[in-house]
Structure 1
Amino acid sequence: MNQVPSKEQIRQWISDNPGLSSKRDIAKAFGMKGDARNELKRLLREMESEGDLSKRARRFVPKGELPPIALLKVLPPDAAGDLFAEVMEEGVDPDAGPILIIAKKGDPALAGGDRILARLSKVDLDEYVYEARLIRRIGSNPLKVLGVFRKGSEGGRIVPIDKGQDKEWRVRSDEDMGAKDGELVEGEAIGNRRIGLPQAKIVARLGDPTGPRAVSLIAIHQHGIPDQFPDKAIAEADQAPPFTMAHREDLRGLDLMTIDPADARDRDDAVLAMTDDEPGNPEGFVLWVAIADVANYVTPGSALDREARRRGNSTYFPDRVVPMLPDVLSGDLCSLHEHVDRPCMAVRMRVNSSGQKISHRFTRGVMRSKASLEYGQVQRAVEGAPDAATEALLPQLQLLYQCYGALKRGRAIRQPLDLDLPERQIVLSEEGKVLSVDFKTRFDAHKLIEECMVMANVAAAEELHRLKQPLLYRVHEEPSPDKLEALREVAISSGFTLAKGQVLKTAHLNQLLKQAEGSEFDELINISTLRSMTQAYYNPENFGHFGLALKDYAHFTSPIRRYSDLIVHRALIRGLGLGKDGLSDFDIENIAETGKLISDAERRSMAAERDTIDRYLAAYLSDRVGAEFTGRISGVQRFGLFVKLDETGADGLVPIREVGREFFHFDPDSQTLMGSDTGLTIGIGQRVTVRLAEATAVTGGLILELLELDEQKLPSGRFARGKAKGGGKAPRRMAGKAKAADSARRKVVRRRK
C-alpha cells in the first residue's frame, strides 16, 4: 500500500496508537515510501497548523488530548491525601484538568513541587480524566510555604498562615537566615521526610505579620501575584511617545465625563448621552462610551505587553492595588483625567426607547473629559443637590439618567440574573488598622454606568463577529445539573420553589429571588444562587453569557486593568484598519492560551482579595473574642458548619465538636447534619447565635461556638460528650438510627417535590 491516507485516517491512527505516533511510525503503518512520505510530511504540517494535531518530542497528539508520556509537576496532596499533577509542557489542552498519580509498590515518595516523567492513560471519570504512572523523578521546583517563624533551641518552626494548612515545618538553625521569633517568612521545602515534621529552609524574611498593611503583602506572596515590574517594562512606560492624530477622530467637542467610585485609582471609561435626532428612533438616544486607548502605549510583543499578559489583571486590596500596568500609564497617560487630551477607543450607539441597541459605530479618537465625577456626587445632583462641579453638567446628567431609564426597560425584557449581594468595604486608618466594616451603598449612578458598559461590551463582541476577527469572549455557562439540584434543595427547605423540567433561564432564578425578597431567607437565597453559578472565563469560542442573558459578550471597557479588554481593542484596531498596533500574529496564534492564562490570573486575584478581607475581618474581631453574634448557616460539611455573621458579613467555622452533644450524620446531597439521637436536622439558611471563640488575624480564621439554632437552645440528646447520662461511654455513632431518620427525611423531600 502506497496510497496517501486521508486526514481522518491519520487522526484515527494516532488516537488508536498513541505510543506509535511519530512520522516514521505513521508512514510504516500505511506502507508509504518515496514521494508518498513527502506528501505525508505536508499533510501532518497542515494538520498541525489547523490545530488538529500538536507535535511534542517528534510525536503527534490529537487536539484536546495529552501525550502518552509527559512531563508533570506534582501538586500538594489534597484533603483526602491523593496526589495530583499538572502537565508542564507547552501547547497541551488547557482543560485537561488535574491528573491523578497512581503509585505502585517501590515508587519513591513524591511531594508537591516534584517534576516527574510519567505514562498517562485516559479514564472516564468526573473528578479527573487522566491517570499517571511514574516512570522517573526528574527533579523538583521546591514547594513554597509562607508562615510565622517560631524560634526554638535548635532552629525553629514555620507555622503556615494558610488556614487550610495545619502542618508545621521544621527549620534547622543554619537554614533560618537569622529570622526572629514571630517574624513572617517564606520557606522552601527540602528533603522528603516520611516520619516527623517536614523540613524547610527560609528564603525570605518579610517582617512583622501584624505590622501596618502587612495583610495584603501576605496575600501577594501567598498567591504569587507579580508585584515588581521588570526594568524593561518600566523603561518603556517612562519613555512612552505621545499619541498622534493618525487614524483618529476628534471627539474633544463631546461632553464626555467619567463617573467612578470616590477612591478610584484609574479612570478608563467616559460616557455621554444625547437625544437621537435621526429619523426612525422616536424618543431614542445616542449613547457614547469612550475607553482609554491602552493599545497606543502597550504594543504587541513589548516588555510592557509581556508583563501585562503575565499579570492578567490588576489586583485590588483595601490598602493598595497591584496594577497590571505601571503607574505612569494606569494613573496618568491612559487615565481619562478631566480637561486633558487623551487617546481613546469609542463606540457611538443608537438606543431606542425600549433600551434596545439599533446600531453602533466604533472609532479611534482623542477626547477631553469635561469632569471627573464620583457616584454619590452624581446621585445627589440628579436628586436636586448639585455641587459646583455638577451644576453646569446637570442637563447632560439628566439625559444620562433618561437613557438609563430606557436601558432598564431593555434589561427587564432580557431578564439577566438579578442578585442583590451587599459589598463589604474595609475602612482603614492611615496606619493600616481596621476602623470599621461597612456595606457599600449602591446608587442608581452605579447601575447607570454598569448598563452603559454592558451595552458597549455587547457592541464590541458583535462588531468583531461581523469583522470575523479573533477575540476573547467573556463566557459564563449555565449551572451544572448537580449545582442546580443543590439550589433547589435549599429553596425547598426555605419554603420556596424553583421551576424544574424545563430549559433553565435567568428569569426562573429571578422568580426564586423575588419569592425570597424581604424574607428572612433573602440573603441565603441570593448567596446560594451565586454559589450555583459556574465561574466566568475567557475563551476564543463563544458559549454565551448566561448570567447577563446575552448571546455575544466581550470585555472592552477596562483595558487599564484587564488584559482581555486590550486584546479586544487590538482586534477592533486590526479589523477596522485603525493603525498598525492591532492584533499581532502571536496574539492570534496564542489566543486560546492567553484566555487560559488570564482566566487563571483572575481566579488568583479573587482568592488573594478574598483572603485579605478574611484577615482584616479577623483582625477587626480579635478584640471581641467571647462576644455573641447572630448569623446564618451558609455551609454545612462533615467537619462542621460555616456561619456568616450579620454584623460584618464575616465567615466563621463551628467545628463539629461544638455542634450539640450527640453524633451527627452528614448528608452531602441535602447538605445537612442530622442528630443520631434527637433527629435534629441542621441545614443551610438556619438562624444561629454563636460565640466568638477564636479570631486569628494572621490566617483569617474565625472559630465559633454554637449557642442557639433558630432562637432555640440545642437539645442535649441522651449522650453528653464522652459520657452517657446513665453512666458509661457514649457510642461512637448510632448509624442505624441515623440511617433510618435519613431515609424518612428523604421520603418527605420526595413528596414535597
Structure 2
Amino acid sequence: MAPRKKQNFKARRGRPEGGRARFDSPKHAQNKSGRKRGGDNHVRRSHGIRKLKATVEKNPKGFGFLLFDGKDQEDVFIPPRQAQALFQGDRVAVTLSGQDEILELKVLEHRFRELVGRYSPNPAGNGGWVLYERKKTRAEVYLPTFGGKRPPQNGDWLRVALTFHTSGPFPVTGAIVENYGTTLPFTADLGMIAAEYNLVEHHTAASEQQAMKLPALPAPEDMASPKRVDLRQVPFITIDGETARDFDDAVYVERDRSGFILWVAIADVSHYVQPGCAIDKDARERGTSVYFPERAFHMLPRALSENLCSLKPNEPRLAFAVKIKYDRNGVPGATELFEAVIQSRRRATYTEIFAEWELNRKNSDWEFAQHFGLFLALRKARLERGSIDFDLPEPELRVTPEGEVLSINQRPRNDAHRLIEEFMIGANEAVTRWIMERSWPFVYRVHDDPSPESLEGFRAIAATVGVRFSSKEAGSQKFMADIIRRLEGHPAQALLNMSFLRSLKQAVYSAEHGTHYGLASEAYTHFTSPIRRYPDLVVHRMLRMALQTERDRQKKPKTLVLENIEKDLAEVAEHCSYRERLATEAERESIRLKQVRAILAHLGSDFEAKVVGFSQNGIFMQIDEPYCEGMIPKDSLTDDMYEFDEEHMTFRGRRKKVLYRVGDRLTIQVVKADLERRQIELKLLPTTRQISPR
C-alpha cells in the first residue's frame, strides 16, 4: 500500500448484478454497470440519503468496491485514489446520497489482523515491504523496522501483524511475527487463512470458565421439569459424517393411517446459553462455526458442542423437538413443538445407512423403511413445487493435524445425506409456519428472486452449450428448477449449475419475512443447528418464548417490547449474515490452498482432465485425483491461433480448426502451483486425444 494521500470520498455505482467481472482498468470497472451514464437515455434512481454497512473489496488494479449487506443496494465503485486509504475486507459504515455518492465513510473494523506475504527490501533506505497478492486483490505493507529480528532476505515468506493508522504517511504498517524463509510450510496454512478472515479459534477465558462449570450430564431437575415432555421412549437416531462429534439433530419417522409422522429433536443449546452470558457474547460475535481441513473453529466451547449439548447415543439430553404430520404425498399438516428430554438409540453414519438402504429397498419390515418412504415423498413434493436441487461436486480432504495433505477426492453424496437434508428442511419450514401463525418476532432465512438481468446472463451462457429457453421462461422459478434437473448427465452440467448459482442472490438472515427462491419456500428459517449457528440459537429462544406464553396462558408482551425484540433480531441477522459470508469464503480459500499444495507434489506429472469452462484467457480443467481445477493459458497453446467462441462456448483454432468443448477429456501436464495466488497452471500435451462425450 503506497503512502497516504488526503482523501475526499466520492464514488459512483459501477458493478453489474450477479458478480464482479475481471476488470482491466478502473474506467472499465466503473462503466461496467450496463447503464449509460450520460446523454438523453441516462436514468438514475434516487434513493434518498441512507446509512448502510458494507465490506471493502480491493482490486489488484488499485480501485475497489463497497459490497453492501442490504439486498436492495447495488455495490458502489471506489476510484483508486479513494480506495488507497482502505484495506481489503474492511468493514465500514457509509452514508450514501440519493445518487449513490459516498457522503461519509467510517471504518468499523479491519478484517485482517495479520497477513502472510513475500518480502521485498526497500531500495530507498531502512525497512522493506511485504507484498500480499491473491487472485482478486493486492496490497503492499511497509515494515519500518525488523523488531530486533534477523533481517529477512528478498523473497522470504513473512507473517506480519498489522497496525492501521489514521494519520502519517502509511495507512498500515507491519511487524514481523515469523519468517518462514523461501518456502511456505503447510503448518502456516490454518493461521494464515484465519488471520485473513478475522477468525479466532480459542474462546474467551470467561466463556471457557462458564462452560467448565456446566455439568457433564443434564441435571435431574431439568429432565424432570413439568415443562418438558419425556420422549426417551421415541427411538431417535443421529445420522452424520464419520468424523462428526457435534450431533445437533436426531430423527424418527412413524407411519399412521393418513401418512407419516416426523419427529425431529434438536439440541437444546438455549437452555444452557442464556442471552448476555459470557458464552452467548462469544457465540454471537463468532456467528458460526468454521470448518477447516485441519480442524474446526467451534462457535461454542467443546464442553457444550461435543458433550453436554451433543445428542450422543444412549445418553439423556435436553432437546427442542418438533412433531410434524404429513400425508402420503408429503404434504404437511399439524405441527407440535416440545421442550423435551430424549435419548438417541444409535449414532449412525451416512455410509452405514445408505448401505443398509441399498440392501433393504424392498423390505417393508426394515426399521428405517418408513424413514425412506417419507424422504421420497418429501423430495418429490419439494421438487414438484419448484425447489432447485443443486448437486454440485465438492472436494473431500484428508489432512494430518498439522495440515499436510494426504488426499483430495470428490465428496460422495447419497440418499442418506439427502434424507437428513429433507427432514431438516421440513423441520425448518414447520417451525416457521408455526410461529408465523402466532405473529411473533423471528429470524427468517431469506433468498430473494434473482434479477431479470442475471437470469438473462445465465440464459445466454446456457444457449452456448445448446440449452435454450426464452426470457419469459427464465422468469418462472419452477421452469428454472426443471432446467437444472434436466441438466443431469449433460457434459456442461457442472458449468451451468455453477453459472446459475452465481446468478442467484445470496441467502441472508432477516428479521423481516421473505420467501426462499432456491427452496421454493414461502416460510423458512434455520432451526436445526444451534450448536454451530447463532441464528438457530436465537430462533430457539423465540420459539420457547412463544411456546411458554401459549402453554402457560400468559399475555403476549406489549408492542414496545416486541419492537425492541425485533430491533435486536435485525442486528443479529445482519451480523450473522456477514459472519457467515466470512466463514464461507475462508473455508473455500482453505480448500483452494490445500488443492494447490496437493498438486505441488505432481509438478511435471501428466493427467487426464475434463474441460469445465473457458474464458478469454484460457481453458479451465478439472483433475479427478487430486480433485482440483487448473487453467491452460491461451498463450501456451502454440500449435495454432486459438479464439474463445463465447456464443458456442468453445475454444477453436483458426487454421487447423481444432475444437475444444466443455466435457472434453484432454491429457495435460502440471506446470505451476502458485501458493501465493492459489492457482494451478496446466499445459496441454501435444499428443493429447480430444475425447468428446458427445
User: 1:82-129: per-residue Cα shift (whole Å, max 9, x none)?
Assistant: 355689xxxx9786565555799xx99734389999985322xxxxx3
1:618 has 2:596 as partner = yes
The whole-number CA distance in structure 1 between the counterparts of 2:83 and 2:596 is 41
The whole-number CA distance in structure 1 between the counterparts of 2:83 and 2:478 is 55
- Aligned counterpart for 2:498 among listed residues 527, 542, 549: 527
Which residues of structure 2 form unaligned runs of 5+? 1-45
- Aligned counterpart for 1:147 among listed residues 75, 98, 116: 116
Residue matched to 1:33:
none
The whole-number CA distance in structure 2 between the counterparts of 1:231 and 1:542 is 37
SS in 2 for 1:691: strand
Contact 1:101 1:131 (8 Å CA) reproduced: no
Counterparts of 1:286-301 in structure 2, within 5 Å, are 286-301=261-276
- Aligned counterpart for 1:691 among listed residues 669, 678, 687: 669
The percentage of aligned residue pairs carrying the same residue is: 29
Check 1:364–1:194 CA distance in 2 against 1; reply closer, same or farther (3 A cut): closer
Check 1:503–1:696 CA distance in 2 against 1; reply closer, same or farther (3 A cut): closer
Give, as a single letter, the amino acid of the residue that structure 2 aligns with 1:695: A
- Aligned counterpart for 1:556 among listed residues 527, 550, 553: 527
Give, as a single letter, the amino acid of the residue that structure 1 aligns with 2:304: L
Contact 1:628 1:689 (8 Å CA) reproduced: yes
The whole-number CA distance in structure 2 between the counterparts of 1:443 and 1:348 is 25
Shift of 1:151: 7.7
The whole-number CA distance in structure 1 between the counterparts of 2:109 and 2:288 is 29
The whole-number CA distance in structure 1 between the counterparts of 2:397 and 2:406 is 8
Residue matched to 2:332:
357
Residue matched to 1:200:
173
The whole-number CA distance in structure 2 between the counterparts of 1:266 and 1:117 is 36
Name the count of aligned residue pairs. 624
User: 1:271-291: per-residue Cα shift (whole Å, max 9, x none)?
Assistant: 1111225xxx1xx11110000
Contact 1:183 1:206 (8 Å CA) reproduced: yes
The whole-number CA distance in structure 1 between the counterparts of 2:103 and 2:460 is 37
1:218 has 2:202 as partner = no
Contact 1:457 1:554 (8 Å CA) reproduced: yes
Shift of 1:512: 2.7
Check 1:445–1:101 CA distance in 2 against 1; reply closer, same or farther (3 A cut): closer
User: 1:660-717: per-residue Cα shift (whole Å, max 9, x none)?
Assistant: 588888898998888899999988666655432211345422123355799569xxxx
The whole-number CA distance in structure 2 between the counterparts of 1:651 and 1:297 is 44
Shift of 1:160: 2.3
Residue matched to 1:66:
50
The whole-number CA distance in structure 2 between the counterparts of 1:621 and 1:681 is 27
Residue matched to 1:78:
59
Residue matched to 1:8:
none
Q: State TM-score, norm by structure 1.
A: 0.72
1:700 has 2:678 as partner = yes
Counterparts of 1:3-42 in structure 2, within 5 Å, are none
Shift of 1:467: 1.3
The whole-number CA distance in structure 2 between the counterparts of 1:494 and 1:189 is 50
Check 1:262–1:206 CA distance in 2 against 1; reply closer, same or farther (3 A cut): farther
Of 597-606 and 397-406, deviating more is 397-406
Residue matched to 1:285:
260
Check 1:462–1:399 CA distance in 2 against 1; reply closer, same or farther (3 A cut): same
The whole-number CA distance in structure 1 between the counterparts of 2:440 and 2:654 is 61
Contact 2:143 2:173 (8 Å CA) reproduced: yes
The whole-number CA distance in structure 1 between the counterparts of 2:468 and 2:449 is 19
Of 336-345 and 686-695, deviating more is 686-695
Counterparts of 1:320-399 in structure 2, within 5 Å, are 320-384=295-359, 395-399=366-370
Counterparts of 1:73-222 in structure 2, within 5 Å, are 75=56, 77-84=58-65, 96=73, 98-100=75-77, 110-112=85-87, 120-123=96-99, 129-132=100-103, 146-148=115-117, 150=119, 155-160=127-132, 162-165=134-137, 168-175=140-147, 178=150, 182=156, 184-188=158-162, 200-202=173-175, 204-205=177-178, 210-211=184-185, 213-222=187-196
- Aligned counterpart for 1:263 among listed residues 228, 239, 243: 243
Residue matched to 1:722:
none
Give, as a single letter, the amino acid of the residue that structure 2 aligns with 1:66: R
- Aligned counterpart for 1:501 among listed residues 468, 472, 483: 472
Contact 1:101 1:132 (8 Å CA) reproduced: no
Contact 2:245 2:310 (8 Å CA) reproduced: no
User: 1:565-605: per-residue Cα shift (whole Å, max 9, x none)?
Assistant: 1121111111111799x999765322222112111111111
Shift of 1:631: 3.9
SS in 2 for 1:590: helix
Contact 2:119 2:131 (8 Å CA) reproduced: yes
Shift of 1:268: 0.7
The whole-number CA distance in structure 2 between the counterparts of 1:598 and 1:74 is 14
Which residues of structure 1 form unaligned runs of 5+? 1-61, 124-128, 714-753
Residue matched to 2:36:
none
Give the number of the structure whose alpha-carbon radius of gyration is greater.
1
Residue matched to 1:461:
432
Contact 1:175 1:201 (8 Å CA) reproduced: no
The whole-number CA distance in structure 2 between the counterparts of 1:463 and 1:709 is 63
- Aligned counterpart for 2:512 among listed residues 530, 541, 555: 541
User: 1:331-350: per-residue Cα shift (whole Å, max 9, x none)?
Assistant: 11110011111111001111
Check 1:575–1:157 CA distance in 2 against 1; reply closer, same or farther (3 A cut): same
1:418 has 2:389 as partner = yes
Shift of 1:235: 1.8
Shift of 1:453: 0.8
The whole-number CA distance in structure 2 between the counterparts of 1:514 and 1:164 is 32
- Aligned counterpart for 1:658 among listed residues 633, 636, 645: 636
Give, as a single letter, the amino acid of the residue that structure 1 aligns with 2:190: S
Give, as a single letter, the amino acid of the residue that structure 2 aligns with 1:202: A
Residue matched to 1:730:
none
Q: State TM-score, norm by structure 2.
A: 0.78
The whole-number CA distance in structure 1 between the counterparts of 2:205 and 2:198 is 19
The whole-number CA distance in structure 2 between the counterparts of 1:256 and 1:343 is 13
Counterparts of 1:228-239 in structure 2, within 5 Å, are 228-239=202-213
The whole-number CA distance in structure 2 between the counterparts of 1:679 and 1:157 is 48
Contact 2:113 2:198 (8 Å CA) reproduced: no
SS in 2 for 1:435: strand
Check 1:157–1:101 CA distance in 2 against 1; reply closer, same or farther (3 A cut): closer
Work out which structure has the larger RCO, using CA pairs closer than 8 Å and 6 or more positions apart in sequence.
Answer: 2
The whole-number CA distance in structure 2 between the counterparts of 1:100 and 1:408 is 43
Give, as a single letter, the amino acid of the residue that structure 1 aligns with 2:98: K
The whole-number CA distance in structure 1 between the counterparts of 2:525 and 2:91 is 37
SS in 2 for 1:490: helix
Check 1:680–1:493 CA distance in 2 against 1; reply closer, same or farther (3 A cut): farther
Of 584-593 and 594-603, deviating more is 584-593
The whole-number CA distance in structure 2 between the counterparts of 1:81 and 1:314 is 33
Residue matched to 1:477:
448
The whole-number CA distance in structure 2 between the counterparts of 1:523 and 1:289 is 33
Check 1:611–1:670 CA distance in 2 against 1; reply closer, same or farther (3 A cut): farther
Shift of 1:359: 1.3
Give, as a single letter, the amino acid of the residue that structure 2 aligns with 1:620: A
Give, as a single letter, the amino acid of the residue that structure 2 aligns with 1:146: L
SS in 2 for 1:501: helix
SS in 2 for 1:534: coil
RMSD: 4.3
Shift of 1:307: 1.7
Check 1:543–1:683 CA distance in 2 against 1; reply closer, same or farther (3 A cut): farther
Shift of 1:161: 5.8
Shift of 1:507: 3.6
SS in 2 for 1:404: helix
The whole-number CA distance in structure 1 between the counterparts of 2:402 and 2:200 is 24
